[in-house]
Structure 1
Amino acid sequence: MSTLHIFSKPLNYYSANQLENLISLDDRVLLLGDACFASKQFKQFSDALLVLEEDAHVRAIKLSHNETPISYNEFVALTLTSTQLITW
């Protein structure tokens, strides 16, 4: 199991340099809220980003092939199966 990193704001809100050292390759990165707009910026942390499907839909964001949409039920399941949760 891995750490689930949950982002709700675009990457420029955070210090990207610090994040590089805190997110490992086997961690999962989930984008929700306005972070969905900045998925290309978050690619540096994970090849396969998770995006909350409803938030992307409400913001009329089309997901690319390497972005996985997840439902609220899948989001809850991820929180239960992850070793650690970090909400940024």
Structure 2
Amino acid sequence: MLANLITAQDKVLLVSDACYNNMQFKQFSSCLYLLEEDTTARDISLNKEDIVIDYTQFVEMTLNAQNTITW
């Protein structure tokens, strides 16, 4: 299902419990972001290639996107 919605060029931001599945989502997009507050709250171990952003960057990403999908 996700393979039909996400292209390799799409930016994907994982929030809340989706942060637990960051390895699964890496197969769909090379631009994978995690919300810092959610990774901290869930004590998620990050890899050096993980991109963690804060709420300000999240808002900027949303404002700069042509389309957004939330599920």
Under a length normalisation based on structure 1, what TM-score does the superposition of the two structures give?
0.75
Partner of residue 23 from structure 2, selected from 13, 32, 40: 40
4+ long deviations beyond 3 Å:
none
> Residues of 1 paired with 2:49 and 2:12: CA distance?
12
> CA contact under 8 A between 1:48 and 1:67: conserved in structure 2?
no
Whose strand proportion is higher, 1 or 2? 1
Partner of residue 11 from structure 2, selected from 9, 15, 28: 28
Aligned length: 71
Residue matched to 1:52: 35
Long gaps (5+) in structure 1: 1-17
RMSD between aligned residues: 1.0
Long gaps (5+) in structure 2: none
